[in-house]
Amino acid sequence: MIVTVTLNAALDITYRTPALVPHTTHRVSDVVERPGGKGLNVARVLSALGHETVVTGFAGGRTGDVLRELLGGSGPGGSRSRPVDALVPISGSTRRTLAVVDETSGDTTQLNEPGPTVSSAEWSTFLGAYERLLTGADAVALCGSLPPGIHVGAYAELIRRARAAGVPALLDTSGEPLRRGVAARPDLVKPNADELARLTGSREPLRAARDARRRGAHAVIASLGPDGILAATPDGVWQATPPAPVKGNPTGAGDSAVAGLLSGLVEHLPWPARLARAVALATATVLAPAAGEFDAEAYEELLPRVAVTEHPGP
């Protein structure tokens, strides 16, 4: 079982319009709603890959009700298993995120609402649920921003609890929560190049990834956008690159990469195979019509075409 944690879950709403022009009125050609937030996106992809997955975090208000109703419905895996809902109820209302896809250019404009304030009692309830889930977990993913009311060292605390339970932990966040989380020695961190630069002060991805490992991360997988991902691990350094640039909605692409990395970890795949899966899933997500999904046919076609190269030296 893989557990994904989304402390700042969202209801993702995707609008598609023929062209997005500022200061004008638009007709929306299609509207899709999906449970969102990084960890929920990761869980949906893991389930589509056939992994038993449990989602936890917070959900509240009418938006939270809609999110949970959609979470229990059909996902991108069709008849395959869906994530198990272990979200903790809160009094505040779950946020919404709005993605507007310009069908002419393929570009996406993203609007993210702030999250609800989480009380100390709600956080304590979550910690109890998290500890119980760790007892049966093969891995845990800690994903996304922190909602108001949650202390900045929350992910570091969750990593330490996972380590005490012997459960590998992946961290995908940014800013001060990332800095403190890395110091708690997670098994994997997956920042993008900008997040990694802010963490280490280096704009050179390989140097920054190695620096992040020295700060405590066991392995660092840096997202490089259209250039794929760079992995600095105890076993070596690799870069995985998609076969060609694609246009579409990038929402959730990084989360699909996390799902590829986690599934490869619990399946004990070698690093090149994990990285190829992560890049193929991320690229197939850009090509999908809605946030947090991936195009299964595109994934199967892309997987053998991802180039994985090893960097020489330590």
Contact 111, 10 (CB under 8 A): no
- List CB contacts of 179: < 8 A, sequence separation 6 or more: 199, 215
Contact 212, 182 (CB under 8 A): yes
Q: Would you give the DSSP letter of residue 9? A: -
Contact 74, 138 (CB under 8 A): no
Q: Which of 102, 172, 187, 255 is catalytic?
A: 255
SS3 of 4, please?
strand
Task: Give the number of other Cβ atoms within 10 Å of residue 211's Cβ.
Answer: 18
Question: Would residue 255 show up in a list of annotated catalytic residues for this protein?
Answer: yes
Produce one character per residue of 37-46: b if its CB has 16 or more CB atoms within 10 Å, e if not. Answer: bbbbbbbbbb
Q: How many helices (H) and strands (E) does the chain have?
A: 10, 15
Q: Which residues are catalytic?
A: 255
